[in-house]
């Protein structure tokens, strides 16, 4: 198949491009490099530009007869979305609408959307399944839920088929250390912990030790980036074979606390970590864990890299490449 990957120079998108190419698909990457990295591009044809550029999209869709689009070109920082909601609604909603309408004009009817567990808001129960109430608590989550609603409406009105994949906490790196996570600024726990181990960061801050969890730190569901990408590949096959719009939660189904992540990082790296304790952040839930039974049943998907030490070991190889820290343990 010929597939357009938006945001294909970013963290998850670049891993997806590599998996698609290895599976024998033809790939075109569209990225404006607002957060992507040129050296992360694994191959395929690269087009530098915005998904909100209707003229560029018309030219691209006219030249390339795509079978499907995988959409990763969203802004992802929850805190920033609160202070700059216009940035998130403009890119995550308005520009995505430009992309969807270009697909309609050029009769490309298969779409896989990078959504988020942020659509659920505060958890009413755990693990969180697809039927959980969707009440986002920040503009980022609202932007993702808006697109999910638009996709449902486009399906009913135009027969536009899509799969929305709701990530919990994407983590890890290419197992060989060739590609990994590098956001600016970095806000995710595992890379921050490993930057502390490598010396690129002085200490790791733990926000709250008074949550109602076994060790008092909050629990999150970490899913390996390669497992995420494999779910996208299965979702593509599902759309081709079944042609039914659907949504799936993606996680390990078993959460790990902040302290467990720190302990695992010390095991994997063999290095002690400096830790700073701080008060809870407003809006942090005690436990966010996915129920992925729907994805297992319908897509045939289960995580292969579910062990926390494995996720951290792969991310550590990448961090050592970034920080030039040797030896690599784990």
If DSSP codes are grouped into helix, strand and coil, which group holds residue 112?
A: strand
3-state helix, strand, coil in the chain (%, to 5): 40, 20, 40
Q: What is the token pair recorded at 118?
A: 């942020």
If DSSP codes are grouped into helix, strand and coil, which group holds residue 119?
A: helix
**Residues whose CB is less than 8 angstroms from the CB of residue 43 and which lie 6 or more positions away in sequence, other chains included:** 17, 18, 21, 27
Q: Around 317, how many Cα atoms within 13 Å sit in the side-chain half-sphere?
A: 15
Active-site residues, by number, are 140
Question: C-alpha distances in angstroms, 81 versus 11, 118, 137, 197, 287?
Answer: 19, 12, 11, 29, 22
Report phi then psi at 124, rounded to 5. Answer: -90, -25
**Residues whose CB is less than 8 angstroms from the CB of residue 320 and which lie 6 or more positions away in sequence, other chains included:** 177, 198, 326, 328
* CA–CA gap between residue 268 and residue 316 (Å, rounded): 8
């Amino acid at each position: 198949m010929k597939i357009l990957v938006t945001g294909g120079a970013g963290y998850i998108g670049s891993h997806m491009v590599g998996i698609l190419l290895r599976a024998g698909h033809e790939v075109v990457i569209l990225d404006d490099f607002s957060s992507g990295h040129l050296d992360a591009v694994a191959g395929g044809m690269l087009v530098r530009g915005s998904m909100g550029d209707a003229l560029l999209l018309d030219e691209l869709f006219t030249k390339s007869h795509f079978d499907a689009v995988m959409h990763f070109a969203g802004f992802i920082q929850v805190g920033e979305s609160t202070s700059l909601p216009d940035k998130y609604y403009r890119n995550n909603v308005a520009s995505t609408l430009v992309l969807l309408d270009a697909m309609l004009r050029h009769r490309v009817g298969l779409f896989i959307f990078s959504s988020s567990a942020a659509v659920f808001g505060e958890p009413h129960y755990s693990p969180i399944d697809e039927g959980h109430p969707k009440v986002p608590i920040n503009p980022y989550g609202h932007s993702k839920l808006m697109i999910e609603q638009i996709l449902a409406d486009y399906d009913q009105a135009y027969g536009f088929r899509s799969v929305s994949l709701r990530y919990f906490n994407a983590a890890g790196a290419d197992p060989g250390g060739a590609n990994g996570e590098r956001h600016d600024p970095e806000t995710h726990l595992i890379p921050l912990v490993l930057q502390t181990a490598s010396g690129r960061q002085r200490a790791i801050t733990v926000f709250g030790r008074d949550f109602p969890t076994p060790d008092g730190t909050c629990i999150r569901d970490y899913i390996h980036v390669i497992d995420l990408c494999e779910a996208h590949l299965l979702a593509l096959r599902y759309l081709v074979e079944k042609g039914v719009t659907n949504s799936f939660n993606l996680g390990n189904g078993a959460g790990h606390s902040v302290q467990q992540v720190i302990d695992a990082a010390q095991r994997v790296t063999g290095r002690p970590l400096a830790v700073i304790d701080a008060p809870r952040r407003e809006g942090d839930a005690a436990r966010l864990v996915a129920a992925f039974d729907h994805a297992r049943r319908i897509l045939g998907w289960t995580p292969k890299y579910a062990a926390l030490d494995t996720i951290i070991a792969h991310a550590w190889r990448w961090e050592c490449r970034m920080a030039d820290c040797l030896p690599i343990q784990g």
